[in-house]
């Protein structure tokens, strides 16, 4: 497991609002939990229990989506495609 920290320094990530120290702390905790979840899955795979590879792949995908969306919930990136669609729909109303 790694305890690497996200450090944006003075740089901003394109398409994201400037992050507060609190937001960075939350995302770092989510990343830490993601690493611990990966450790658990590696342990589980080593137990020798027969596994359905399709279900395992599905579980992996869902974990990845969950952590991805938790981080996006904190960082709240811009949604230029969604904004463009909303603007077009509102213009036609």
Q: How far is CA 85 from CA 72, 90, 93, in A?
A: 20, 9, 13
Is residue 9 over pLDDT 70?
no
pLDDT band, residue 69 (cuts 50/70/90): very high
Return phi, psi of residue 9, to 5°. Answer: 55, -135
pLDDT in tens, 30-47: 999 999 999 999 998 999
Is residue 93 over pLDDT 70?
no
Higher pLDDT, 5 or 54: 54
Per the prediction, the chain carries an average pLDDT of 83
pLDDT in tens, 71-83: 999 988 877 777 7
């Amino acid at each position: 497991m790694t305890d690497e920290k996200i450090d944006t320094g003075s740089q901003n990530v394109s398409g994201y609002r400037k992050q507060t120290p609190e937001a960075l702390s939350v995302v770092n905790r989510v990343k830490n939990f993601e690493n611990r979840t990966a450790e658990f899955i590696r342990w589980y795979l080593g137990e020798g229990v027969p596994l359905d590879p399709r279900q395992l792949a599905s579980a992996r995908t869902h974990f990845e989506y969950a952590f991805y969306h938790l981080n996006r919930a904190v960082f709240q990136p811009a949604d230029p495609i969604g904004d463009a669609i909303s603007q077009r729909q509102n213009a036609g109303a």
